[in-house]
Amino acid sequence: MTSWSRLSFLALLVLQEIVLAKYVRTKRSTIAPVGAGGSDGTIFDQDFVDYGWTGWTPSPPHFCLEVLPELQAAGLVIPNEVLNDCDPGDITYITNATALQLDTSSYVGQVCAMKNCTAFVSVGDNFYDSGIDFTTGGIQRFQEAWVDMYNEGVFQTAPWYQCLGNHDVVKGQSGIDFQTQVAPIYDPRWNFGTQGLPYWTYDLTGKDWSATFVVVDSDCFLSSYQKNTSVYANSYTEACYADRQTQVDFLANAFAESTATWKFLQLHHPYMSSATNETELAPLVEIVIQHNGIVLNGHDHCLGHYYSNNTNFILSGAAGYPQAGDCNYGIPLGPYAMFLAANPMTAANGFVTMDISNQSINVEYYVRDMSFENGDLYPVMHDLNPSYSFQITQHAT
């Protein structure tokens, strides 16, 4: 039994409640921690995405600006991760993005200490800019950017339920293997099932409720990632795109077999968005709608809530570098955009919590005050209180 499991189990004995995280298609089960309130079966799950900037070292400007163009002109094949690590936008963002990740993680710690958060739900882009792979450099980056980064307060013991984003697949199969097979052994807080696959499912069960979460790799559904000009085109994305029906069937079967009170689809890319609606995710979303499920996603670097086809889409992509345009500068584009944490100057850093019970899911958006030397770009009067919240009462079918 791992150290966090022992600590959780002691808490469960005191509260006289057992909460289990069960991995479907495996024999292994893990004790998941109980949330604040204990006796009523609540648990706080926190959505965390687009956070992994710490420790990224871009290629030198001389290489990116002068050497790389000559290599390309000469017809040399450039590895995708090399191209991606010369991304001019991300290089521009890196200093601020790293600082914002540190500040936001501290903010998450403050709120979670107050709310007694007990689990973290990731929706991808765990490591900028080109993910990590099973190399010495990848191991060192994982240690610096995640193990050492999230190691105080609630982060010490709370489990993370992981998902892949587009930045996580740049290095191909080696990167997938690290996050799905190596990382869970390296640090037991990092959960990615036990099959070593980029899609998986787990259950959280309270006193009188249960929740099924199905994780898929949405990178496998985007035809744009199949183009030879895409930095996300590699043997991994090619193979999983050809086999994407497997993940559709996996979701359909997991939801059909589940009798849970609540059902969630956990993925990186947005089907509903203020920037780019990824309509190729429709086969997945249709299953969610059929089961009265809920969609958790990131990719857009902001916080948002969308409601369409009687379905809630929860966007939590603001743990790293926020971008106002991803939430259309705070201007709703239609009645489906219920909340956007952005204004003409910036999107806000923050995260989302879910307080789950049998009767309802209370969803709260925590937005931190964005104070800088040149002014308060996103003023929040009391940022330890939620800036927006809503309740979900319709049970899954």
Q: pLDDT, tens digit, for every residue of 252-285?
A: 999 999 999 999 999 999 999 999 999 999 999 9
d(CA 14, CA 78): 57
Half-sphere exposure of 304 (CA within 13 A, CB side): 36
229 falls within a domain = yes
59 falls within a domain = yes
56 falls within a domain = yes
User: In this structure, are residues 327 and 303 in contact, taking their beta carbons and an 8 Å threshold?
Assistant: yes
Q: Which domain holds residue 322?
A: 3-392
Q: What is the pTM of this model?
A: 0.85
267 falls within a domain = yes
Which CATH number do you get for residue 170? 3.60.21.10
Q: What is the mean pLDDT of the chain?
A: 84
Q: How many domains does the chain have?
A: 1
Residue with tokens 């309740």: 391
The pLDDT, as a whole number, for residue 35 is: 33
Q: Cα torsion for 149, 19, 267, 2, to the nearest 10°?
A: 40
170 falls within a domain = yes
User: In this structure, are residues 72 and 110 in contact, taking their beta carbons and an 8 Å threshold?
Assistant: no
The pLDDT, as a whole number, for residue 13 is: 24
For residue 128, give the nearest of 352, 321, 342 by alpha carbon.
Answer: 321
397 falls within a domain = no
Q: pLDDT, tens digit, for every residue of 184-205?
A: 999 999 999 989 999 999 999 8
CA angle (188, 103, 294) in 5-degree steps: 60
The pLDDT, as a whole number, for residue 85 is: 84
Q: What DSSP assignment string belongs to 192-249? A: --SS--S-EEEEEE-SS-EEEEEE--GGGG-GGGGSTT-TT-SHHHHHHHHTHHHHHH
Q: pLDDT, tens digit, for every residue of 339-385?
A: 999 999 899 999 999 999 999 999 999 999 887 655 668 889 999 99
Residue 350 amino acid letter? G
123 falls within a domain = yes
304 falls within a domain = yes
For residue 34, give the nearest of 54, 7, 55 by alpha carbon.
Answer: 7
CB atoms within 10 A of CB 2: 14
- The DSSP H or E segment spanning 183 is helix 183-186
d(CA 74, CA 384): 55
For residue 121, give the nearest of 338, 363, 307, 322 by alpha carbon.
Answer: 363
For 47, 148, 208, 348, 353, the CA distances from 124, given in Å and listed in that order, are: 10, 19, 30, 18, 17
Q: For residue 364, what are the β-bridge partners?
A: 353, 389
pLDDT under 70: residue ranges of the chain: 1-52, 96, 372-376
CB atoms within 10 A of CB 356: 23
